[in-house]
Amino acid sequence: MAVTRKAMAVMRAQQPPGGLIQQITSVGGQIGVPTFSCYCATKWAVEGFTEAVAQEVKPEWNIRFTLIEPGGFRTDFSGRSMAVAEAKVAAYDHIDVRANMRERHGTQPGDPAKAAQKMYELAVMPDPPLRCLLGSDAQEAVRGKLETYRENLDRFETLTRSTDIQE
C-alpha cells in the first residue's frame, strides 16, 4: 500500500500527470484455494485495496490500475521455492500440501514468457482493464466461481432482500 501511495503521488505531480499501476495478485485473489488461505487473504486484500483506490482517483490525474491475476505458471513457485510449515495439525491430515504441490509442479498450463508479454501489452494499452486473468486455469476457476455466485444470488434473493426496511 505504501508503494502504491508513493507511486500515485509521483504520478499526480508529474507533467502531464498519470500512469499505470499494475498490481500482481493471483487467481487466489478471486477464489479460495485449499491450503493457501493466508496467501489468498493477502491477494484478496490487494484486490480490495486496488479496486477501492481506482474509484478514488480524480479523472484528471489519469492514473489507472490493473490487477493481474495469474493462474498456474511453470515457475518454481510450487517447486523448491515453496515453503511449507513443518508442523502438521492432525485435524487436517486429509490434506497433504506437499504432495499436492509435487503433483502440480511442472504441469501448470501457463508459460511465464507469454505472461510477461501480455503484462507488457496491458501496460501500453490506452485503457487497460481493472482486472485481467492470465492463464486458462484462472479463466476456468473464476468462471466457475461466478456461476456458483449467480446461483447463490438467485437462490437466496428473497432472504437477502428481506432485510431491507419496509417503508
Rounded CA separation 130/133 (Å): 10
Instruction: Give pLDDT tens digits for 114-164.
Output: 999 999 999 999 999 999 999 989 999 999 999 999 999 999 999 999 999
Cα–Cα distance, 142 to 149 (Å, whole number): 10
By CB neighbour count within 10 A (0-12 exposed, 13-18 middle, 19+ buried), where does 18 fall?
middle
> For 66, how many CA atoms within 13 A lie in the half-sphere containing its CB?
21
- For 151, phi then psi, to 5°, come to -60, -45
Q: pLDDT digit string (tens) for 58-117?
A: 999 999 999 999 987 666 665 566 666 677 777 877 777 666 666 676 667 678 899 999
The pTM assigned to this predicted structure is 0.84
